[in-house]
Amino acid sequence: MSDLTVIVLAAGNGKRMKSKLPKVLHSIGGRSMVGHVLTAVQALEPDRVVTVVGHAREQVMAHIEQTHPHVAIAVQEEQLGTGHAARIGLSASGATTGDVLVLTADTPLLTGETLRWFVERHRSGNRAVSILTAEVPDPTGYGRIVRAHGGDVNAIVEDKDATEEQRAIAEINSGILAFDIDFLTSALPRLGNANASGEYYLTDAVKLAAEDGVRTGGYLLEDRLQTEGANDRVQLAALGQALNRRTVERWMREGVTVIDPATTWIHVDVELARDVTILPGVQLLGATIVGEDALIGPDTTLTDCEVGAGAHVARTHASLSVIGDGADVGPFAHLRPGTVLGARGKIGGFVETKNAQIGEGAKVPHLSYVGDATIGEGANIGAGTIFANYDGVKKHHTSIGAHVKSGSNVTFVAPVTVGDGAGTGAGSLIRQDVPAGAMALSAGPQRVIEGWAQAKRAGTAQAAAAEAAVAEGVLIRGERTPGEHEASHNGGTQIGDTPAGATQS
């Protein structure tokens, strides 16, 4: 909108939050309250936007510079009231023509569409000042809209200054006002502070307009949640829930199946493709993106993740990770930052990954830790495998080639590299590089000490079971042994041509 200046008031301290964090930095739907308001403002494409900061200004300024770098910032050293704050904002803006939209920074459900509608009403009605109003069941604390018979607004009376009769008015000031700049410039220096709070009220400009005989307009917004502010954490949670309901409904209308909207939480910046299905207990957070036909949940939290088309992600906690098309994750998987799972790959139950690139069709199906690793396409990592990446001082990388088959319970001690098509035997401790196609076995030969239970655990159920089996001549379960024990039962090598215990999946 051309010739429009926006002033966002964010200098107050938000005492009722009882927080180290300034009120306007509390977030819902994955975005701070001031971030929501500035995003709505940005949709108007105004000429200038100024945010007035004061309380905890360093934190608020740093946040705005990061999220909305084009927004100017003005400092209100002492919080003398909304009228004083608007004056500081206006002079910082340098604006001299057009209209000025003033809003507070704590109405996170406000949309750009609503602001556009309101400014258009203000302009087409040719008003000196317009107020966006709402009707609320409990108007306590708000400024009340006092209308003249013709419908123009005569005054906004603050709760603390209102008479009994005025307190009964249900129509309230949302805190969002639009001004003709000439009127605002003339009104601001005329505001006084002789009121119950001793503050310069911006809302008193309405009374001045009525006295000046210029037109005022009060425009009622049906969707009152958009004008609701969060002053404490109870209201913050209620607005967070309302925002989430809106976000979830928006995605359902876009073709996403949500089985249980009540337990599905979706941040405002998340992107979902059509025919995604979300099962109960899912949180899609940050800048998460989910591709077509993916099935997410139940009980899954994805923060800043990218999930490919047709992937399945069940009971998983993941952040800053990429899950390829058709890949399968969980249940009970933990994907830490830097995990990249290729198309049709698998990260199965009780697997933790971090900074791990797992190739197409590669599988880490069970009970493993994969940190600082590259796993080639089609490789299969056996159950219980640990990538020992940390030597106590530094982290090191492990590289596993394409189509490697690693046995169960292998430890790869980084830095180490396993060539394409190689294998590692169950229980191996891999400290040295394994060439392509080789089989590496490090588990020692098995030692068998016959009669150990009878000798060392005499009198126990274990020893009794052993004695009974020996008496029957059944040394191996199910196999009746011939009279002579064979050498292989007594410390011979156990290595066959396939390493026992390699996990298939």
Residue type at position 275: D
Nearest distance in Å: CB 157, Ca ion: 16
Q: Which does 52 bind (CB under 5 to 8 A by kind): ligand UD1, Ca ion, none?
A: ligand UD1
- Closest chain position to ligand UD1 (CB): 143
Retrieve residue 135's tokens.
């009707």
Count of residues binding Ca ion (CB under 5 A)?
Answer: 1
Q: Which does 205 bind (CB under 5 to 8 A by kind): Ca ion, ligand UD1, none?
A: none
Name the residue nearer to ligand UD1 (CB basis): 53 or 276.
53
Name the residue nearer to Ca ion (CB basis): 30 or 229.
229
Options 73-81, 89-97, 221-229, 376-384: segment touching Ca ion (CB under 5 A):
221-229
Name the residue nearer to ligand UD1 (CB basis): 142 or 183.
142
Nearest distance in Å: CB 200, ligand UD1: 8
Residues 6+ apart with CB under 8 A from 441: 424, 425, 428, 495, 499
Q: CA 30 to CA 25: how far, in whole Å?
A: 11
Name the residue nearer to Ca ion (CB basis): 169 or 495.
169
Q: CA 346 to CA 181: how far, in whole Å?
A: 61
Q: In which region does residue 83 sit, left (phi positive, over 0), alpha (psi from -120 to 50) or beta (all else)?
A: alpha
Retrieve residue 162's tokens.
């209102």
Q: CA 133 to CA 111: how far, in whole Å?
A: 15
Q: Give 7's strand partners.
A: 50, 102
Nearest distance in Å: CB 13, ligand UD1: 8
Nearest distance in Å: CB 186, ligand UD1: 18
Q: What is the DSSP letter of 17?
A: G
Q: Which does 7 bind (CB under 5 to 8 A by kind): Ca ion, ligand UD1, none?
A: none
Nearest distance in Å: CB 251, ligand UD1: 30
Q: Could you tell me the sign of the dihedral formed by the alpha carbons of 253, 255, 260, 262, in that order? A: negative
Q: Which does 80 bind (CB under 5 to 8 A by kind): ligand UD1, Ca ion, none?
A: ligand UD1
267 in active site: no
Name the residue nearer to ligand UD1 (CB basis): 202 or 347.
202
Name the residue nearer to ligand UD1 (CB basis): 44 or 205.
205
Cα→Cα distances 220→377, 421, 493, Å: 60, 70, 87
Residues 6+ apart with CB under 8 A from 353: 321, 333, 334, 335, 336, 339, 341, 347, 364, 369, 370, 371
Q: Which does 328 bind (CB under 5 to 8 A by kind): ligand UD1, Ca ion, none?
A: none
Name the residue nearer to ligand UD1 (CB basis): 4 or 10.
10
Q: Which does 384 bind (CB under 5 to 8 A by kind): ligand UD1, Ca ion, none?
A: none
Nearest distance in Å: CB 227, ligand UD1: 8
What dihedral angle (degrees, nearest 10) is formed by the CA atoms of 326, 270, 44, 157? Answer: 160
Residue type at position 173: N
Angle at which helix 33-42 crosses helix 57-67, to 10 degrees, equals: 40
Nearest distance in Å: CB 144, ligand UD1: 8
Name the residue nearer to ligand UD1 (CB basis): 11 or 129.
11
- 363 and 348 in contact (C-beta within 8 Å)? yes
Nearest distance in Å: CB 44, ligand UD1: 19
Q: CA 358 to CA 378: how far, in whole Å?
A: 9
Site string for Ca ion, 404-423 (x = CB under 5 A): --------------------
Name the residue nearer to ligand UD1 (CB basis): 55 or 317.
55
- 263 and 280 in contact (C-beta within 8 Å)? yes
DSSP 111-152: -HHHHHHHHHHHHHTT-SEEEEEEE-S--TTSPEEEE-TTS-
Retrieve residue 456's tokens.
């060392």
- 74 and 89 in contact (C-beta within 8 Å)? yes
Residues contributing to the site for ligand UD1 (CB under 6 A): 9-12, 52, 54, 76, 79-82, 84-85, 104-106, 142-143, 156, 158, 172-175, 201-203, 229
Nearest distance in Å: CB 185, ligand UD1: 18
Q: Which does 203 bind (CB under 5 to 8 A by kind): ligand UD1, Ca ion, none?
A: ligand UD1
Cα→Cα distances 397→370, 373, 386, 392, Å: 10, 5, 13, 14
Q: Which of residues 225-244 bind Ca ion (CB under 5 A)?
A: 229
From 122, 366, 396, 489, active-site residue: 366
Q: Give 389's strand partners.
A: none
- Closest chain position to Ca ion (CB): 229
Residues near Ca ion, by CB under 5 A: 229
Catalytic residues: 366
